[in-house]
Chain A
Amino acid sequence: MFFLLLSYIPASAKTSPFIKYDVQVISGKVTDEKGLALPGVTVQVKGTRTGTVTDKNGYYSISVNDNNAILEFRFIGFVTKEEQVNGRGVVNISLIPDNNNLNEVVVVAYGVQKKVDLTGAVSQISGKELQDRPVANVSDALQGMIAGLNVTTNSGGGAPDANKTLNVRGFTGLNGSLAGPLVLVDGVETNINSINVNDIASISLLKDVASSAIYGSRAPNGVLLITTKEGKKNQAPELTYSDNFSFAQPLNLPVMSNSLVFANTYNEAAVNGGLAPIFPDDVLARIAAYINDPKHTPTTIVTPGTTTWSNYSYPYGNSNNDWYKIFFKSWVPNQQHNLSLTGGSDRVTYFVGVGTNDNVGLYNYFNDSYKRDNLRFNLTADINKYVSFSLRTTYSQENDNNPQTQGQNPIQGIYRTWPILALTDPNGGGDGLNFVTRYSQDGRLITRTDDSRINGEITIKPLPGWNIIGDYSYDYNTSNFSGSYFPYLFATTTSTQNTDGSISSVEKQNTFTNYWTYNVFTSYEKNINGHYFKILAGQQAEENTYSLLNGYNNFLYSNSLPSLALTSGPNPTTTDAGGYAWATARTFGKLDYNYKEKYLFQANAAYMGTSLFPQDSRYHLFSSFAAGWNISKEGFFKPLSKQIQNFKIRVSYGGTGDIASLLNAGNYYPSQSFLTTQPQSSTSWIFTPSSGGRQPYVSSPTNLVSPTLTWAKPSMLNIGADIDFLTDFNLTADWYRKNITDQFGGSTTPPATLGIAAPLVNVESSVTKGWEVTLGFSHKYGDFNVTARANISHYSGEVTQFNGNPAGLLSSPYAGEPIGAIWGYTTVGKFQSQQQIANAPSQSYFGGGGFLPGDIQYADLNHDGKITPGNSTVSNHGDLSIIGNTTPKFLYGFNSGVSWKGLSLSVFIQGQGRADIWDSNIFNLNGGLYFSEVTPKLADRWTPSNPNGYFPRIDLSNGPSKDMQIQSYYLQNTKYLRLKNVQLGYTLPNRITQKYHVSDVKIYTSVENLLTFSPVFAHQYVDPELMDSGDLLYPLQRTYSFGIQLNVK
């Protein structure tokens, strides 16, 4: 679509005189400013539909019937040039590169637009900027690249199959949700992480509602338009190969204290808590002996009177294991390979891309991996001068392979594993309570996802300026899951083959997603005496149908082949529960107007229906308006034009509808109610004990339904400016205010007597405000080419209406609450004496056996002589106050590159400003005996001899209730600055490589996540990005990579 529409950007409307002249053929060559041939340049006789394209050597020929005809030469990245023929037969032209990004063409909804004509908030980057990095998927590559596109690590952490979370401009609901944008690849909704980074030509982000409103209720949270590569006309076939080999190491892996420190710390915490020391002296002696001489000290001893090796109870193991080091490899290799073929004749262009991406996970003993293969084939053909056709097909396969961990998070498993636990007993047998023993013998979770898509588009151009376009896409996605579960064996003194007694099982699940969509739209554009109009109207519909088939049985015949056919369990289960379908239909229209690109105006409307809502409330009309003023085109601006080349201000306002929050929550039928059925296997009551007989059951209708349920309604006001100044600089700045009304919530909080939640209605509201600035720089100093781009963005939100919390409880949203606010106590410090405790306001509310020196003193904010949370309500919050906010103050990225001849160096920095996180895990001993860990950072704690320690006195029984209340002093500031990528590349001169039939050979090396600076490391080890999303997560990685790319002739 990009290229098709590009060809039809309006030329000047000057009409040709209707005087007949002899037809004359004009030919010539088009070169760049250095005299190198430019293939693919569009050459058009101005004011007519006559046009051609230069061949691979830059030559063209074209017929004109007017000696005074004007030829127009257009090529992306170069200033469009007009040349009067003046009777010449040969017209050679040299085009000048266009460094002025306002003339850049930007992909927008249903078309393209010159940046100078934009009235909305739209950012675009080229695919080139994302490539050559050892990232597994597009979301990884986008982090820090575009102002207002917030890319964050989620609970998947750095796992090989993890994706990052995308969000545009902050909160998408009052509960702090950060839903992602609609991602359209060549106009069709796509899972962004299933596509190959190397197939991308450009990415355009529609940030304001006015720019995305034409997509109606499907795009409340911004639109990411990804355009894939296409061939160019009259281009010789070009085969490009690239690969990337990398080595990843865990980044910011926590550290465990050695076993003696661990045991002594636990003992201290136990004694402080009024308990017996956990580890008596004989155990401590064995632990010390093991540390001094691990070779000659057993890892654990036999529990007296038994044949079992001791682990978590007296007499305990005595090893010294840092389980993080045991669970994770120090290095893993990854690789990517990409091959693409592009080319075109004067009527047909093609692009074929093949890529493979192989990620090996970090787990030791129980491997994990993710592999993705992509194939893309884009073809465009001009059938005649009125009709063109394009066909895009893609296929991708993802293979995800993980250890069976029975729903447990292995990282939490590490966190809670005591270092004294033996990895293997003195005979080399596996310990029975050790996660390595367990997971390494357990089954696998294997998913293969296949996605095939075909998209056909036909474009008809009956008259100059009039386009009719229709497209249809069909996507078929299947996933094939196989999960196996095996009992594991552990060792005792008498046998290494003791089973844990569990029963092997296998689960298979196939899912099928059918998605189709069509768009039919027509546009007409005309420029009359500087008044440019474009109107567009069309309709779209889509349907998504999901079904699944799941089978489960236990008692495998053999663990080596987990198949349902090879099970003997008496009660296999199969189900297709969970299938669903939803659909939307939409009619839309758009009007663009500008006067000499000086005054700009745009209006959009979409009339939208969806299957989610009751018949009478499912349609709604959404509209938006935008205006711009290119001040630099005014006469009065002329004196400043040396300093400021372009200056435009823009304003837009629009509304749209949101069902994404329902779809994301899996609520496909919010306006229907069901009796939930359960098979006998999910009941806990046994009706016939002799046979183990259970019975199925049915529950009452799940929910009350409101007949007026309809869309949530986000609207956004956007004010922005684009400035090009001092020749080399460009700046884009935007401010916005997003108001989401009619969010879904209970109509009221009913008394408990209702016995069911109030029906979902449209009642709640929230507001998000923010700004973004992008500053670019580009300059040539002789052979040095320097570019830089910095972006920074900020958002913050507030709940403006919430009905579900009549008591004003702080545990629930309330009107006026800043989204992300953290309520907590204010820390005064640590008590240093009993006297101080006696004189301080009473803290007996926290119970926990009274306070002692080393415990935390909280501030009596309301001066009532005691520390309490009041009623924990907004009106009575005692000594609680808002002590922080989880929302980052700002997010930023800085990209710069220097090139000199064949050498290039690029540096990419990314990070975020202050964000507060309450993470009780930093206290290490917060989870009692079995859910705590001891790290060297915990040494910095209060003891009588270390009264200024960071952490409070440790207390195994009462510490959490007394000292780990959410409070100001221990909020962690997860701001960070990350040297995200540094890359050094060298492109070999073509004169050397040409004899081997290759050209543009680039070799490069890069480091991803090289350095991270953050205050969070002062008191713990976890990466700030992981802390933001839950702490005990799969570690991120630092990756060293080497790559090559070349063209084959």
Chain B
Amino acid sequence: MGVITGLTFNSCKKNNLLNQVPPTQLTDAAYWHTTSDLQNYVNNMYNFADVFPHYQGYGQSGIYGVDVNSDNMVPSVPDVRLTGQATIPGNGTYANYTEIRDVNYFLANYSRVSASADLVAPFVGEAYFFRAVLYFNALQAVGGVPYITKVLNINDQAAINAPRLARNLLADSIISDLNKAIANLPTKANAQTQRLYKEYAEGMKARVCLYEGTWEKYHSGDVFGLSGQNGSTFLQEAADAANSVMTSNIFQLDNVGIPNGYYKLFNQTDYSSSKEVMFWAAFNQSEGIVNYWQDSYQLGSNGTYSGGLSKALVDDYLCVDGKPIAASPLYEGDDSLKQQFANRDPRLHQTVFSYGDTVISNVPGPNPITIYTYPGLLGTPVCTTGFDLKKGASTDFFQDSHHSVGSIDAVIYMRYAEILLTYAEAKAELGTLTQGDVDATINLLRDRVHMAHLNIGAITFDPNWQYPGLSPLINEVRRERRIELSCEGYRLNDVLRWAAAPSVIVGKQPLGAKVKQFLTVIPGLVVGTNVFVNPQGYIEPYQKQPIMANGYQFKINRDYLLPITQQETVVNPAIKQNPGW
């Protein structure tokens, strides 16, 4: 017996029975040999939903539904942040360090592949771009965060427990990564399709710089500001980066002068030949990569999106003569949608549905077209305001998942119009915007839709300017940005960086169209029962929400930044909570 025991003990130690190797998985040692290893690794980053969201869930309508978090749109349930009801989450991160780690792991290891620099550079450029955007997301959400550039292990205590970086230094780091991306990435002409390229990275740099520049300028006097910073350096970088994109001469606006050309820009499935759309994601029905946006637009017979545009947004559109509705003789009033949309900036009617619009086409059977008759105030999903979102709506019957696998309308991540607007805004903020700059930017956008030019020498006074403390020019530049980019997901971040909540959010009660025009048209619509109105007769969707009794209660000493989660402030005491939380 002792013999058996002795044998066993000895044999166990040597036993390769207990050295099992997984049959179908790669280890680090087996990787990093060829440039295809680099490409396969970077491919993963394109799946980062924080960088390139696909909006694939039900009930979404792509970038066109994002503005429900702002004063542009009125969702059926008021936004938690705008109502000041946000709370500190228990756990979870404040920056996507998991994906940042993925990038850092690449940057720490790509040089193990021996290949010529020109084969390796594009992938390195891509990695820097992704890291920049991941940190930019954090900057927008919570401000400065610890800047991690290494693959950390559990015993790297100093790095793990690093304090938050000041937000301007984080912005510098993001810009530094973008500069590396710009240096390494191929130009659009030389890049593979749907992979990152230099001019898009420049566009991203312009976006980041404008964000941080305006943030520092407009928050300089509040708890979110940085002493001694006025953002002018970033604003100049923003203008330079935008200018670099503009002078590359490879982009221009699409559909200029084409009837409904602005509307037609947004419901396309393929932007390969677009000169304006700088970066976008494709879907494909046979690959099963689809979204369900058109379910939201087409589900009810009236064509609607869950939500509705706010009266505040609709009223911000100028009349076609370039004057605000308060000043233009062309304005017909707002008793009906028809009057309200008459003689207005053509982009209004190309953003909001009105009578006679085609909602669904290609319907099999004898009635191939469904015409818009009235807003889905009682629809499912509901149009809260009477202003039904049209931007992004495809009329194709087979884009609705009830008649196909789903919709394949592409996601737009950046279009050239934003670059033009960034250039104009940065220059306006720097005080160097000239009429020539306006003609090369804002007036190009207006030409597309046959809208009167902005003449900086003859700006019509608007009693409803949202930022009466700022110059008429900045008011008009901001208006142009809001109109051109409405319902594309820019608005909340614009309001935050402009510190504009007191002007456009706090205490505001979102309204819709006048209800009277619908009462005889929409069966079953009864004021006080299923629709609520203010004394002036405008639909007031939140009238029965006590939380909205006094309008949005966004807290201006707190809600410009989201809180750090509770757990993160405990496990790393060096992480200080944001102001007001």
Contacts and interface: CB of A to CB of B under 8 A. Distances in A.
B194 A581 contact: no
A537 B566 CA distance: 55
Contact of B194 (A520, A538, A688): A688
A537 B403 contact: no
B286 interface: yes
A1024 B22 CA distance: 43
User: Interface residues of B: mostly helix, strand, loop or mixed?
Assistant: loop
A687 B42 CA distance: 12
Range class of the B interface residue count: 35 or more
B114 interface: no
A668 interface: yes
B98 A303 contact: no
A8 interface: no
Contact of B160 (A502, A669, A754): A754
A755 interface: yes
Interface stretch (B46-54, B256-264, B317-325, B449-457): B46-54
Contacts of A458: none
Interface in A682-703: 683-690, 692, 694-701
B301 to A, nearest CB: 6
Given A587-B8, A683-B46, A809 B405 contact: no
A327 B34 CA distance: 56
A408 interface: no
B148 A849 contact: no
B12 to A, nearest CB: 5
A313 B300 contact: yes
A539 B15 CA distance: 14
A25 interface: no
B272 A749 contact: no
A902 interface: no
Q: Which of A306, A580, A755 has the most CB of B within 10 A?
A: A755
Contacts of A581: 20, 23
A571 B286 CA distance: 10
B47 A697 contact: yes
B186 to A, nearest CB: 15
Interface string B79-103: 0000001001011011101111110
A672 interface: yes
Interface stretch (B62-70, B493-501, B507-515, B524-532): B524-532
A576 B24 CA distance: 7
B523 interface: yes
A611 interface: yes
A696 B40 contact: yes
A685 B194 contact: yes
A686 B571 contact: no
Contact of B284 (A580, A686, A806, A872): A686
Interface in A674-730: 674-678, 681, 683-690, 692, 694-701, 704
B284 A494 contact: no
Nearest to A691: B284
B24 A806 contact: no
B432 interface: no
B571 A751 contact: yes
Contacts of B272: 689-690
Contact of A755 (B97, B300, B370, B566): B97
A535 B4 CA distance: 14
Interface string A791-830: 0000000000000001101011000000000000000000
Interface in B1-41: 1, 4-5, 8-9, 12, 15, 17-20, 22-28, 31, 37, 39-41
Contacts of B94: 752
B365 A494 contact: yes
A108 B118 CA distance: 70
Interface stretch (B219-227, B478-486, B544-552): B544-552
Given A587-B12, A809-B567, A689 B546 contact: no
Nearest to B524: A280
B511 to A, nearest CB: 16
Given A589-B5, A753-B572, A700 B281 contact: no
A686 B281 contact: yes
Contacts of A300: none
A929 interface: yes
A24 interface: no
Contacts of A668: 20, 22
A673 interface: yes
Interface string A921-947: 000000001000000000000000000
B28 to A, nearest CB: 6
Nearest to B272: A689
Given A587-B9, A675-B31, A522 B1 contact: yes
Interface in A353-382: none
A290 B12 CA distance: 76
B154 A305 contact: no
Interface stretch (A257-265, A271-279, A383-391): A271-279
Range class of the A interface residue count: 35 or more
Contact of B93 (A306, A752, A812, A872): A752
A752 B194 contact: no
Contacts of A599: none
A307 B287 contact: no
A755 B162 contact: no
B546 A686 contact: no
B54 A849 contact: no
B153 interface: yes
B134 to A, nearest CB: 11
Q: Which of A307, A313, A678, A751 has the most CB of B within 10 A?
A: A751
B568 A276 contact: no
B517 interface: no
Contacts of B26: 674-675, 677, 698
A704 B154 contact: yes
Given A675-B28, A690-B272, A872-B90, A699 B44 contact: yes
Given A695-B43, A752-B568, A755-B152, A610 B18 contact: yes
A618 interface: yes
A580 B9 CA distance: 26
B342 interface: no
A501 B403 contact: yes
Given A609-B18, A611-B19, A755 B98 contact: yes
Contact of A686 (B31, B97, B282, B575): B282
Contacts of B111: none
B17 A541 contact: yes
Given A305-B367, A611-B18, A849 B547 contact: yes
Interface in A819-862: 847, 849-850
A407 interface: no
Given A750-B154, A809-B90, A675 B27 contact: yes
Interface string B555-572: 000000000001110111
Contacts of B434: none
A687 B194 contact: yes
B546 A850 contact: yes
A87 interface: no
A877 to B, nearest CB: 12
A685 B567 CA distance: 33
Given A577-B24, A672-B27, A692-B286, 14 more contacts: A274-B545, A576-B24, A587-B4, A675-B28, A677-B26, A681-B287, A683-B43, A686-B281, A687-B194, A699-B41, A700-B105, A752-B97, A755-B99, A847-B547
Interface of A: 271, 274-277, 280-281, 303-307, 312-314, 432, 494, 500-503, 520, 522, 535, 537-539, 541, 543, 547, 570-571, 576-585, 587, 589, 607, 609-611, 615, 618-619, 668-669, 672-678, 681, 683-690, 692, 694-701, 704, 747-756, 758-759, 806-807, 809, 811-812, 847, 849-850, 871-873, 929, 957
20 contacts: A306-B363, A520-B4, A538-B4, A581-B20, A618-B18, A684-B54, A685-B43, A689-B194, A689-B272, A699-B41, A699-B102, A700-B41, A751-B572, A753-B97, A754-B152, A806-B567, A809-B567, A847-B85, A850-B547, A871-B566
Query: Which 3 A-B pairs give the minimum distances between C-beta atoms?
Result: A276-B530, A755-B101, A274-B544
